[in-house]
Structure 1
Amino acid sequence: MTSALVFRSGPHTTLPLALDLQAMGIEVLAQEDGCSKLVQGVVRHAPDLVIGEVSASADALFKATQALADTAPCPVIVFTTDSDAGHIERAMAAGIHAYVVNGYGAQRLRPLIHLAQARFRREQALQEQLRDVSQRFEDRKAVERAKGILMRARQVSDDDAFQILRTASMHSNQRLGQVSQHIIQSAHFAEGVNRAGQLRMLSQRLVKLYLLRLAEVQTRQQQALLDDSILRIDANIALLGKTLSAPTFGDLLAQVEGTWQRLKPSLKGKPAAAQVLPVDELAERLLHDADRLTASLESAGSAPPLKLLNIAGRQRMLSQRFAKCALMELLESGARARGSDAVMVGAQREFESGLALLNSLPLSTPEIRRTLDTAALEWDKVLAGAAHIQRPAGRDRLLRLEGLAAASESLLEAFEQLSAEYERSMQMLMG
C-alpha cells in the first residue's frame, strides 16, 4: 500500500487531503502543521510521498522541500492558490514534483501522484547518471595524479605506472580511482611526515652548527649550512601550511611556527657563549612541537609504512642531537656538561635501537638495504668522532672537531636518503 505524509501551511487551508487519500486506498501516516517539522516527519515515518496544501508559498516551504530533497528524497506534491511565476520556478528547483495552482480535485489525485512519482524517478535516474559521470571524471583525474606520483617515485613510464595501478586494482577488488586516491593520500601523508620530521632534525642541527661556529670550526662552511637549515625550516613550514588541513593540523603547525619565529632571530649574527643555553632551550621546544605534529600526521595517515618513515626520519634528528650533545659536553662545564652527557647517552641508545629495528624489518628495495649499511658505517664514524673530541686539548683539537662535524653531516645525508627512499617506496605508496 502506498503511504503518504500530509502537511498544511498557512491560513485558509481546507482541502480534504487526508480523507481523499484514504478513500483512494493510500495510507496517511501523519499530518503536519506548517513546514518547520516536515523533514523530521518524513525521516520518522518514511512515507512513499509527501502531499500538502499551502495558502501562499514562502521561503519556509522551499527551504523545507529542498532540505527534504537533500536528506530524504521522495515525491512531493503541493496544492496552492499562489500563481506567482517566480514561486513556480522556485518550486521546481526546490524538489517539488507537482506544484498545482488552483487545481485541486479528488479525481485528479491519482494521476497527479503518478506524475510526481514519474518525475521523481526520472530525477533520481538523472542524478545517478550525473554522479556516475562525475565519479568517472574524478577517477580519471585521480588516476593521472597517481600515475605521476608513481612515475616520479619509481622512475617508470606512463604505461608501467598504469599497469601498476591496474594490478593493484585487480588484487584489491577496487576501482582504479579508489586505488589512485589511496596512492595520492599515502603520498600526501608521507610527504607531511617527512617534512615535519625534517623540522625535528633541523632543530638539533641548528644548535650543532651554532656550537661549531662558536668553536670557530670551518666558520664559513658551518655558516652556509646554518643558513641552509634556516631556509629549509621556512620552506617546510610554508609547504605544510599549504598542504595540511588547517582544521586538523593548523594548531599544531601554528605552535611550530610560533616557536620558530622566537628562535630564528637568535641565530643571526656572531654566536655568543651566553646565548647557547637560550638557543638550545628554544630548539628543544621546536623539537617538541615538530614531534607532536609528526606523530599526528602519522596517526592520521593510518598506514603502517608511515611508522617506518617516521622512525627513519627520527634517526636524522637523533644523529644531530648526539653530535650537538657531544659538542655541548666539550664546550660547557659542570652541571650543564653532565646534563649534555646524559642526553647524549639517551640519544645514542635510541638511535641504535631505531637502527636495529630498521635493519630487522623486511625491506622492499635493495636501495634501502644499501643505504642502511652506509648509515651504520657513518654512525661508527660519528661515535669515533665524539670519542676523539673528548681527549685532552691539543694541536689537533680543531681537526677532531672538524671530523665530528663531517661525520655527523655524512650520517645525516645517509638518513635523508633513507627517508626519501621510504617516502617513495612502493610499500609506502601502496600501503
Structure 2
Amino acid sequence: MLNSVLLITTSDAPALAADLSTLGVRVAACAGVDTLLREALRAEVQAVVAWDPYPALALLPALAALHEHHPLPVLLFTSDAEAETLAEALRCGVQGYVVNGYAPARLRPLLQLAEARFERENALRSAHDELAHRFEERKLVDRAKGILMRSLQIPEDEAFRLLRRASMQDQQRVGMVSRRVIQAAHDTEAVNRAGQLRMLSQRIVKLHALRQAGVASGSARSLLEASVAQVTANLEHLARELSKPTFGDLLAAATKRWRALSALLDRDGEAAALGPSDAAAEELLVAAEALTAALAAASPLATLAVINRAGRQRMLSQRLAKQALLGTLAEGEAGRRAAMDAVAGIQEFEAALVELERSPLSTPDIRAGLADAVTIWRRLTAALRGAHDAAARSVIAADSEALLQAFERLTELYGRGAQQLLESA
C-alpha cells in the first residue's frame, strides 16, 4: 500500500489531506501545477493524488512532464466527464480517473488500483522495450553477419560463430559485438572512399597527361571516364553516410575542389591545359587528405592507420607517374618542379613500403600482395627515370595502373578490420 503521496488540489477540494491521514497515508508535500515535478523529486513520494474539476487546462500538461521524467502512480478526482479529457489523462500517465465519485471510503481501494495499474503498465513497457531491443539486436546481428560473410568469404554459420566467440571473450551481448563490427565497417569504408579521392585527383591528371603524350590514349580515355564517375560516386556516398555537423565542412571543401577540377577536364587540346588541371588536382588532394585524416582520427579502430597508409600508396602510385610525365610535358619551371617533386615522392613511397612490411597487421595474403607490389614498383621506378622515352611512358602507363590495383587489393586486405576486431575481442 502506498504511504507517501504528493497532493494537488484546488480551493473547492474536499479534505483530502485529512482523509488520507486517516488511512495512514502521509501527505509528504503539496504542490501546484507549476511545481509538481520539482516537488515530486524533492519529496520522494510514491504517488500523486489530485483534485481538479478541469484538469485539461493546466494539470494534465504538468502530469505529462511528470510521466516523462519521473513516472508515479496518479489518482485524479475531477468533474470533467469529457471523453477527450479522459483519453488525454491516460496519455499523461493517470492510472485512476474518477469523475464525480469522491468518497473517503473509496480512497484506499482507488489508490491500490492506481498502484496496480502503474505496476502493470511498467511491466508491459519493460516487456515491450525488451522485445524492441531484441528485434533491434537481431537486425544488428544480421547486418554484422553480412559484413563478415562478404569480407571474409565465409558462410553464415561461420560468421555467427565468430560473433558468438567474440561475445563470450569480451563478455558482451552479441548485439554489442555486432554494433562494433558494423561501426568498424562504416569507418573503414569512409576512410577508404575519402582516400580514393586523393588517388583519383592524381590519376585524373596522369591520364590527361598520357592522352596529351599520345600514350595509350584509348584506354586512358576510358579510365579517365571511370575515374570521374568514381569521384562522383564516392562524394555521394560520403554525403549520405557522414555526419554533417562533424565532417560536413571538410566534405564540402572536397566537393568544391572537385567541381573546379572537373570543369577543366572538358579542355581536350593543348598540353598547356595540364597546368591548371594539375593545380586544381592539388587543391582536391589537400581537401581529400584533410577529410581522410579527420575520419581516421575520429574512429577508435586501430587498423585505420595501416589502411590509410596503404591507401596513400595508391595516391603516390598515380602522383609519381603524373609528376614524371609532367616533367617531360610541362614547360619551364612547372616541368622542373614536377621532376623534383617526383624524387621526394619516390622516397616517401619507399619509406611507406618499409612501414607496411613491418606492420604487425599481416597475413599470408598481405605478405604476398606486398611482394607483388614491390616487384611492380621496381619496374615503375626504372621507367620513371626515363619518362622522356616513348617506351618508358608506355611502361609508366601500364605499371602505374598495376601498382594502383595492387594497393587497392592490399587496402582491402588491411580493411578487413572486422576480423581483427573479433580476434582481438
- Scaled by the length of structure 2, what TM-score is found? 0.91
C-alpha separation in 2, matches of 1:284 and 1:21: 80
Match of 1:4 in 2: 5
C-alpha separation in 1, matches of 2:117 and 2:57: 23
Shift of 1:83: 1.3
Q: Secondary structure at the match of 2:385?
A: helix
Is residue 407 of structure 1 aligned with residue 399 of structure 2?
yes
Match of 1:33 in 2: 32
Match of 1:186 in 2: 184
C-alpha separation in 1, matches of 2:310 and 2:18: 74
CA 45–384 in structure 1, closer or farther in 2 if over 3 Å, else same? farther
Among 42, 49, 52, the residue aligned to 1:51? 49
C-alpha separation in 1, matches of 2:276 and 2:6: 71
Q: Identity of aligned pairs, percent?
A: 43
C-alpha separation in 1, matches of 2:413 and 2:346: 24
Shift of 1:223: 1.1
Is 1:211–1:276's contact at 8 Å kept on the other side of the alignment?
yes
Is 2:267–2:273's contact at 8 Å kept on the other side of the alignment?
no
Is 1:368–1:418's contact at 8 Å kept on the other side of the alignment?
yes
CA 424–33 in structure 1, closer or farther in 2 if over 3 Å, else same? same
Match of 2:221 in 1: 223
Is residue 146 of structure 1 aligned with residue 144 of structure 2?
yes
Which range is displaced more, 358-367 or 44-53?
A: 44-53
Is residue 256 of structure 1 aligned with residue 254 of structure 2?
yes
Is 1:186–1:428's contact at 8 Å kept on the other side of the alignment?
no
Q: Secondary structure at the match of 2:194?
A: helix
* One-letter amino acid matched to 1:14: A
CA 317–271 in structure 1, closer or farther in 2 if over 3 Å, else same? farther
Which range is displaced more, 225-234 or 13-22?
A: 13-22
Give RMSD over aligned pairs. Answer: 2.4
C-alpha separation in 2, matches of 1:38 and 1:260: 57
Give CA deviations for 1:124-162 in whole Å, capped at 9, x if unaligned. 111111111111112222222221211111111122112
C-alpha separation in 2, matches of 1:322 and 1:272: 22
Shift of 1:6: 3.0
Q: Secondary structure at the match of 1:304?
A: coil
* One-letter amino acid matched to 2:30: Q
* One-letter amino acid matched to 2:169: H
Is 2:73–2:114's contact at 8 Å kept on the other side of the alignment?
yes
CA 131–335 in structure 1, closer or farther in 2 if over 3 Å, else same? same
C-alpha separation in 2, matches of 1:64 and 1:428: 52
* One-letter amino acid matched to 1:237: L
Give CA deviations for 1:351-379 in whole Å, capped at 9, x if unaligned. 23322222112235211111112222222
* One-letter amino acid matched to 2:13: T
C-alpha separation in 2, matches of 1:4 and 1:199: 64
* One-letter amino acid matched to 1:109: L
Among 118, 121, 126, the residue aligned to 1:120? 118
C-alpha separation in 2, matches of 1:292 and 1:45: 54
C-alpha separation in 1, matches of 2:344 and 2:28: 71
C-alpha separation in 2, matches of 1:17 and 1:357: 79
CA 320–121 in structure 1, closer or farther in 2 if over 3 Å, else same? same
C-alpha separation in 2, matches of 1:327 and 1:190: 32
C-alpha separation in 1, matches of 2:255 and 2:35: 48
The aligned runs of 1:17-416 (5 Å cut-off) are: 17-21=16-20, 24-34=23-33, 36-58=34-56, 60-389=58-387, 393=388, 397-416=389-408
CA 115–350 in structure 1, closer or farther in 2 if over 3 Å, else same? farther
* One-letter amino acid matched to 1:288: V
Gaps of 5+ in 2: none
Q: What count of residue pairs does the alignment treat as equivalent?
A: 422
Give CA deviations for 1:192-219 in whole Å, capped at 9, x if unaligned. 1111111111011111111222222221
CA 322–129 in structure 1, closer or farther in 2 if over 3 Å, else same? same
Q: Secondary structure at the match of 2:93?
A: coil
C-alpha separation in 2, matches of 1:196 and 1:39: 49
Is 1:169–1:175's contact at 8 Å kept on the other side of the alignment?
yes
Is 1:51–1:77's contact at 8 Å kept on the other side of the alignment?
yes
CA 317–26 in structure 1, closer or farther in 2 if over 3 Å, else same? farther
